[in-house]
Structure 1
Amino acid sequence: MRTFDLAPFYRSTVGFDRLFSLLDQVSDNAPGYPPYNIERTGENAYRISVAVSGFSEPELSIVAKENTLTIKGEKTANENAEGQSEVLYRGIAARAFERVFQLADHVQVKNASLENGLLHVDLVREIPEAKKPRSIPINGGKAIEGQTAKAAA
């Protein structure tokens, strides 16, 4: 059980509400399997690398829905067929998993690849033109014509 409260930070910060929401969701018993890295590969490009050794492409699924990225891995049952050996010790984890990542606004999944036991998911933040900051010119004390007529009336 945790003993800290992040609520006061919500009131005193601007723009970091998602960060504190993510910190608020972290608990002591968060699963650590499979391990992953989050890298910044460019100004607006990111890469999530998940260690999925022992899994093949058909056993993995990636779903992006709204601001959530879900990566699932389900190992197919290993049937005892003729000619296969009996496993005496299983130290390589091959259990099913589900990792959920919260994506920031305007972040989209661009590509996914599986190489050397690592699943790479490439993300790009594409801000629409309407949402980008724009410069507003200052009139230098000159009133706009339509407003001067209204002010005089």
Structure 2
Amino acid sequence: MTDAYYDFSPLYRSAVGFDRMARLLEAAQRNGQENGWPPYNIESTGESTYQIEVAVAGFKADELSIEARENQLTVAGRKAANDAGDSTERTFLHRGLAERDFERRFQLADYVVVKGADLANGLLTIDLARELPEALKPRQIEINQPKPTLEGKSAKSNKAA
């Protein structure tokens, strides 16, 4: 894999209103360089609800952070240093559980919001939902019709009678 880096800053200078597109290009470049850790699942749990599961075995809740900003969800894990009071040094014959820091980014569609997160059995579960603003939801428009009048009679002739 090459370590090529592309500078997208000229796009920011010359394309007014297209800064989101430039951010998407940068995000795509970063995603191509990720090592695939930690593994994750994205599941559609309903018509407008989703769930992301991230395998974070060995991490405690206070070592994880979740941040949603500008249609991007960032999940990060920062492993706390070993306790200074723990003087026993551990010798591993095989070390298969990764205990390294990580940062995983997910691009969210418009109007997708984070509803909550749970950590159980080494899986971080993040619940998402698409919430359209009322102004964007389809609505029925009532069609007004003129009230029918009797032929040859007007409102004035009805008053005279």
TM-score (normalizing by structure 2): 0.65
Measure, in 2, the Cα distance between the counterparts of 1:28 and 1:38.
Answer: 18
User: Aligned to 2:95, which of 90, 97, 113?
Assistant: 90
Structure 2 equivalent of residue 25 of structure 1: 28
Which residue identity lines up with residue 78 of structure 1 in the other structure? N
- The alignment partner of 1:92 has SS state of coil
User: Aligned to 1:70, which of 67, 71, 74?
Assistant: 74
Alignment of 1:109-128 (within 5 A): 109-128=114-133
Deviation at 1:97, TM superposition (A): 0.4
Measure, in 1, the Cα distance between the counterparts of 2:62 and 2:105.
Answer: 19
* Structure 2 residues without counterparts, runs of 5 or longer: 3-20, 147-161
* Structure 1 residues without counterparts, runs of 5 or longer: 2-17, 143-153
- The yes-or-no answer on 1:41 pairing with 2:42 is no
- The alignment partner of 1:130 has SS state of helix
Moved more, 42-51 or 26-35: 26-35
Alignment of 1:127-146 (within 5 A): 127-136=132-141
Deviation at 1:138, TM superposition (A): 6.6
Deviation at 1:136, TM superposition (A): 4.6
Which residue identity lines up with residue 53 of structure 1 in the other structure? A
Deviation at 1:128, TM superposition (A): 1.1
Structure 2 equivalent of residue 106 of structure 1: 111
Report which of the two structures shows the higher radius of gyration computed on alpha carbons.
Answer: 2
Q: CA RMSD in A?
A: 3.0
Q: Indicate the percent of aligned positions where both proteins have the same amino acid.
A: 54
Measure, in 1, the Cα distance between the counterparts of 2:102 and 2:71.
Answer: 20
Aligned residues: 125
